[in-house]
Structure 1
Amino acid sequence: MVEIFLRTLPFFAIIGLGYWAGRIRFFSEEATAYLTKFVFYFALSAMIFRFAANLQLAEIFNGRLVLGYLCGTVVVYCIATIVGFARKLDVPTAAIEAQCAVIGNVGFLGLPMFVMLFGEASIGPMMLILATDLIVFSSLIVILINGGRDGRLSLSILRTIALGLVRNPMIVSIVLGLTWSGLALPIPEPMNDFLSILGGAATPGALFAIGASLASKSAERVEVALWLTFCKLILHPIFVGIGVLILFPLDTYSAIIVVSAAAMPVAGNVYMLAQHYGIAPHRVSAAILFSTAISILTLPVIMSWMSGG
């Protein structure tokens, strides 16, 4: 476990550096927003496209992985929702809390980290997890929030979901990359170099941006934030582990990747949703802050447990 902790420590050290830069205002919130946009729309997209363009769809798609991951994730989603309803929350607020409980920082933190820790063979499972999160749960949260507010579902919600997916650069990069691969088009050397250089900025840029964004997060509603952190860092990997080890058994390597991905801290895009809809942004902010800090210790434990198993 110590070895895994030491291997993950540099990633969290860069997050810490970004946090320090944000706290002393060397890196302003505006600068952080622009760095995040650069990573999200350019660097990370270049990295994902390059990876996907060198994979075959058959190498990525694994029905057992999707089912195992979904089963575990849905259980934790329901637990968080039931607890929310028991606290007399309305549907939109309970949905936001459930989103915190299951949506991890797979794109910004997980994908770059796992490629360096587990090799490029981790790309396929990670892309599948990322696509499942974006397609299934990003759609579900929009349905629950709008349906909970309006008391009904309308066709405009489907339009909102479709536009959200089409405009998401991660989804676009995966689709374009797999299309390029499916057409068996070679990547010219200058294009490959361009994607490698630009994609190389994704890892340090994403980690620094995560840290800098955490500097502006507040720690309000601590009890709720700690509960959501427990759901994300402990319950989620445990139930996903049941899904991919017992219900829909995967090979050891894929199971390690999937369960470790489930142990990622709460994703920043949940806060963006909460802020956009004006639903509990402070508790989401605190959940991101706590889960990221605590995952420095819990993530190596989960990885070590899975690798040892």
Structure 2
Amino acid sequence: MLDVAAIITPIFLLIGVGYLATWWHIISGEQMQGVSRFVLYIALPALLIRAITQNPLEEVFNIRYLLAYGLGSLGVFTAALFYIVRLKRQPLSVGSLGALGMSVSNSAFSGYPVAVMVIGPPAANFLALSMIIENLFIIPLALVLAEVGRQSGQGVVATLRHTLKQLTRNPILIGLALGVTIAVTDTHLPAPVLKAVDMLANAAGPAALFAIGGALYGLKVRGVAAEVGEIVTGKLIIHPLCVGTCLWLIAGSDPLLLAGGLLFAGAPMASIYPLLGQRYGMGNVAAGALLAATLASFLTLSVMIGLMGCFGTLG
């Protein structure tokens, strides 16, 4: 248990530093957004480029992991959508956002910093694969369904067109494309460029955790405890269980794939979740869910890592 605490505690200490820095007004909210943009637009693309160019493509783009993580996430999304819309009789927009919160992890800002401390360099490969599923499939699906449910504003066709346009500008996907291009063409980058990419990649994890702490400052849960509890349970427990089951069925006894999938699926929901929630009338629920999931993940990730160690998954 002490070994698990040694892994998890520094991660949440960095989150706490970001929270305190914002609370004490050492860094303003706008400045913290600048840190987040640095991670998203510079450090993470550099991390993905390094991961793809330093490993054979067949190791980076593991089809079994993509299929298992995609099926597990889509299964959770579909089940959550059915539960909220059909059984609870909530609007489709509410169901779509609730399902999104349960099935999309904060892979870049939470999943990767944890995974890299547990399984090391392969975490970057799993980050790339997990974000392909999230950015190309689950998030666009949720946004289109939410717009259909709202039946106002741009409309579903315009939303789909806008979503596809935004995907072409997504820095994560651009980083993936650059990395694949460099690897396929066997381009040899100059040593100074490689060093700069390496330095930026190393900054991604700590800066992401710091930014998460700042984003948590000011989030509040007001009268939405039941909804928040359902989303947090779906995200931190049901999502990793479904992804782990799919990996076990598809990838068999590969401990590295299983560990990677569990760690990324077990991360809290994406940090943009409250922003999307505000657009569709779920601002308080989404903000409360992000806050509660981030705090609860200290316990759930600790238990998960401990169990993986007991069953030899980390061996």
TM-score normalised per structure 2: 0.91
CA–CA distance in structure 2, aligned partners of residues 183 and 84 of structure 1: 47
Quick check: 1:115–1:122 contact (8 Å CA) kept in 2? yes
**Do the aligned partners of residues 153 and 248 (structure 1) sit closer, same or farther apart at CA in structure 2, a change above 3 Å counting?**
farther
CA–CA distance in structure 1, aligned partners of residues 243 and 285 of structure 2: 24
Alignment partner, residue 112 of structure 2: 111
CA–CA distance in structure 2, aligned partners of residues 164 and 15 of structure 1: 29
**Do the aligned partners of residues 246 and 51 (structure 1) sit closer, same or farther apart at CA in structure 2, a change above 3 Å counting?**
closer
**Do the aligned partners of residues 248 and 196 (structure 1) sit closer, same or farther apart at CA in structure 2, a change above 3 Å counting?**
closer
Deviation at 1:116, TM superposition (A): 3.2
Deviation at 1:161, TM superposition (A): 2.3
Alignment partner, residue 56 of structure 1: 56
Alignment partner, residue 244 of structure 1: 247
CA–CA distance in structure 2, aligned partners of residues 250 and 123 of structure 1: 21
Residue identity in the other structure for 2:158: S
CA deviations over 1:37-78 (Å, ceiling 9, x no partner): 122111222222222222332112222222222232223223
Deviation at 1:250, TM superposition (A): 5.3
CA–CA distance in structure 1, aligned partners of residues 63 and 49 of structure 2: 22
Alignment partner, residue 33 of structure 2: 33
Quick check: 1:68–1:240 contact (8 Å CA) kept in 2? yes
Alignment partner, residue 103 of structure 2: 102
Matched pairs, number: 308
Residue identity in the other structure for 2:96: A
Alignment partner, residue 175 of structure 1: 177
Alignment partner, residue 81 of structure 1: 81
CA deviations over 1:195-222 (Å, ceiling 9, x no partner): 1222232222111110011012111212
Quick check: 2:51–2:124 contact (8 Å CA) kept in 1? yes
Corresponding residue SS for 1:217: coil
Match of 2:225 among 213, 222, 234: 222
Quick check: 1:47–1:200 contact (8 Å CA) kept in 2? yes
**Do the aligned partners of residues 208 and 42 (structure 1) sit closer, same or farther apart at CA in structure 2, a change above 3 Å counting?**
same
CA–CA distance in structure 2, aligned partners of residues 51 and 121 of structure 1: 8
Superposed CA RMSD in Å reads 2.0
Quick check: 1:52–1:181 contact (8 Å CA) kept in 2? yes
Corresponding residue SS for 2:220: coil
Residue identity in the other structure for 1:112: P
CA–CA distance in structure 1, aligned partners of residues 151 and 193 of structure 2: 48
Q: Which moved more, 1:158-167 or 1:146-155?
A: 146-155
CA–CA distance in structure 2, aligned partners of residues 248 and 58 of structure 1: 15
Pairing 1:290-305 to 2, within 5 Å after superposition? 290-305=292-307
CA deviations over 1:12-34 (Å, ceiling 9, x no partner): 10001111222233322212112
Corresponding residue SS for 2:272: helix
CA–CA distance in structure 2, aligned partners of residues 94 and 287 of structure 1: 14
**Do the aligned partners of residues 266 and 127 (structure 1) sit closer, same or farther apart at CA in structure 2, a change above 3 Å counting?**
same
Quick check: 2:114–2:263 contact (8 Å CA) kept in 1? no
Q: Which moved more, 1:196-205 or 1:235-244?
A: 196-205
Residue identity in the other structure for 1:235: I
Unaligned runs of 5+ in 1: none
Quick check: 2:47–2:124 contact (8 Å CA) kept in 1? no
CA deviations over 1:83-111 (Å, ceiling 9, x no partner): 32233321111100111111111111222
Residue identity in the other structure for 1:253: L
CA–CA distance in structure 1, aligned partners of residues 180 and 239 of structure 2: 29
Alignment partner, residue 277 of structure 2: 274
CA–CA distance in structure 1, aligned partners of residues 69 and 253 of structure 2: 11
Unaligned runs of 5+ in 2: none
Quick check: 1:66–1:132 contact (8 Å CA) kept in 2? yes
Alignment partner, residue 194 of structure 1: 196
Residue identity in the other structure for 1:284: A
Alignment partner, residue 167 of structure 2: 165
Quick check: 1:104–1:265 contact (8 Å CA) kept in 2? yes
Quick check: 1:224–1:283 contact (8 Å CA) kept in 2? yes
Alignment partner, residue 130 of structure 2: 129
CA–CA distance in structure 1, aligned partners of residues 280 and 172 of structure 2: 25
Equivalent pairs: percent with the same residue? 27
CA–CA distance in structure 2, aligned partners of residues 133 and 31 of structure 1: 27
